[in-house]
Amino acid sequence: MKAKKAKQNLPSDSQASTSEKQAINFKQGYFLKGNTLEALPSDLLLPVLPVERKFKTAKELEQLVLRNGKTLFGQQTFIVLMPKKTAASFGKESVPNSFLLDVGDLARPKFYFLDIMLAKQSFFGYVFPRLTKFFSYFKSQETIDKLCELISKDKEVRKELLAKMKPADIPLYLKAAVLGRPFILLVMDGDGMKELPEVMETYSSTWQLVKPVLIRKYASNGKTICIMSPSFSEIHSNGKKRLAGIPLTEADHLKDTSENVREIYNKVKAELLKINNQLQFNSQKYYISLRKNKNLAFFHFSSKRISLVVMNPEKDTKKQIKHHEVKTLTEKVQKFWNGPSCTIKIENVQHLNEVIALLKKLITA
């Protein structure tokens, strides 16, 4: 009876379509109040079934995103607009009007061309050539230099980075972020571009850099609700969903690893805690860090091995590690880790005492 009553209360709108049959999780959305998005309460109950309301123009969707960037993408993200004078220097071809810098993981910043459009745009007539031009910018040193200069002048970005590094390190840090692996964050109002998944699969070497997200707008009982899917925290998860706002646990990192990898990690951890039970094994999005007053090492997991970044010079590390591969890190990467460092590749428990001895040395130093 309640469902029937709710249907009768649906507001009418010539541009609206009911979402009755859509699997939409409204508890992970936002109330739109004026121009501001506010997270919906976890105990939200909707007395009236939501009805989808279309964005009338691309400008409306664009303003919603630009005004609520930190709400949608995270507090450690920064939207940088492209000034008209700078855009002119790119030429008359496709030029993005904004960019997104994510420094949530300071050691692994991510940079995006932020492109916002309505899904009704012609894919092969507009979207394909536009994004293809963006790919060419990734390979242009001149363009990279212009982008780094643009981002470094952004007051919010500079304030954030000055709190975490020396002023002289900022240009190099930003250049590494842009050069590292730039992405295209494609924000649309619906899933009308049926060609996009096929093209992303066919041209996977380049189009895997495109991260599409959909933002939809709904009306319910006089309120406006916006839903973004997938959430920003999920766009790099390759289909493995993570709950937004909830940090990864140690169990999450180990879940998809082999028994051998779990044995390696657990043995290292147990041996180190024997000499100092105050050591911290901090689970972050991309790694677990070993910490005592400062970070000493970073465990990166794959299914069959651990890549252990140690805060120790490569030359000295190779003197102590004789049976595991020691990988050189570039100066830029070492700057990310805030000091001399290298990576030890660990694939089995044999000769693991070498690694444990090195870590004990770092702990007691």
Angle among Cα 187, 70, 333 to the nearest 5 degrees reads 90
Please give the pLDDT value at position 62.
94
Q: Are 49 and 6 in contact (CB under 8 A)?
A: yes
Confidence of residue 198 (pLDDT cuts 50, 70, 90): confident
- Inter-axis angle of helices 141-152 and 155-162, nearest 10: 80
Work out the average pLDDT over 268-282: 89
Give the tokens for residue 91.
Answer: 């030429």
Q: Which of 107, 268, 339 is nearest to 279 (CA)?
A: 268
Neighbour-count burial for 4-30, b at 16+ CB within 10 Å, e otherwise: eebeeebeeeeebeebeeeebebebbb
Residues 6+ positions from 36 with CB-CB distance below 8 Å: 67, 68
- Is the pLDDT at 64 greater than 50? The verdict is yes
Mapping DSSP to helix (H, G, I), strand (E, B) and coil, where does residue 13 land? Answer: coil
68-104 pLDDT, tens digit per residue, is 999 999 888 999 998 877 777 666 667 788 999 998 8
Confidence of residue 268 (pLDDT cuts 50, 70, 90): very high
Long-range contacts of 98-102, Cβ-Cβ distance < 8 Å, separation of 24 or more: 98/66, 99/147, 99/150, 99/151, 100/69, 100/73, 100/185, 101/77, 101/151, 101/157, 101/174, 101/177, 102/73, 102/74, 102/76, 102/77
Rounded CA-CA distance 50/286 in Å is 37
DSSP 128-190: HHHHHHHHHHHT-HHHHHHHHHHHHT-HHHHHHHHTTS-GGGHHHHHHHHHHH--EEEEEESS
Quote the mean pLDDT of the chain: 83
Angle among Cα 81, 85, 88 to the nearest 5 degrees reads 100
User: Which range, of 104-113, 160-169, 230-239, averages the lowest pLDDT?
Assistant: 230-239
Burial of 259 (0-12, 13-18, 19+ CB in 10 A): exposed
- Is the omega angle on the peptide bond into residue 230 within 30 degrees of 0, that is, cis? yes
Please give the pLDDT value at position 25.
62
Q: Which of 261, 287, 290, 286 is nearest to 278 (CA)?
A: 290
Confidence of residue 336 (pLDDT cuts 50, 70, 90): confident
Q: Strand 30-33 vs strand 36-39: parallel, antiparallel, or unpaired?
A: antiparallel
- Is the pLDDT at 9 greater than 60? The verdict is no
Confidence of residue 254 (pLDDT cuts 50, 70, 90): confident
Measured in whole angstroms, how far is the alpha carbon of residue 59 from the centre of its chain?
Answer: 25
- Is the pLDDT at 315 greater than 90? The verdict is yes
Q: Between 3 and 281, where is the model more confident?
A: 281
- Is the pLDDT at 358 greater than 90? The verdict is yes
Percent of the chain with pLDDT over 70: 85
DSSP 200-236: HHHTHHHHTTEEEEEEEEEEETTEEEEEEES-GGGTT
Q: What is the pTM of this model?
A: 0.60
Confidence of residue 243 (pLDDT cuts 50, 70, 90): very low
Domain ranges of the chain: 2-234, 250-364
User: For domain 250-364, which CATH number applies: 3.40.50, 1.10.238, 3.90.1150, 1.10.1060?
Assistant: 3.90.1150
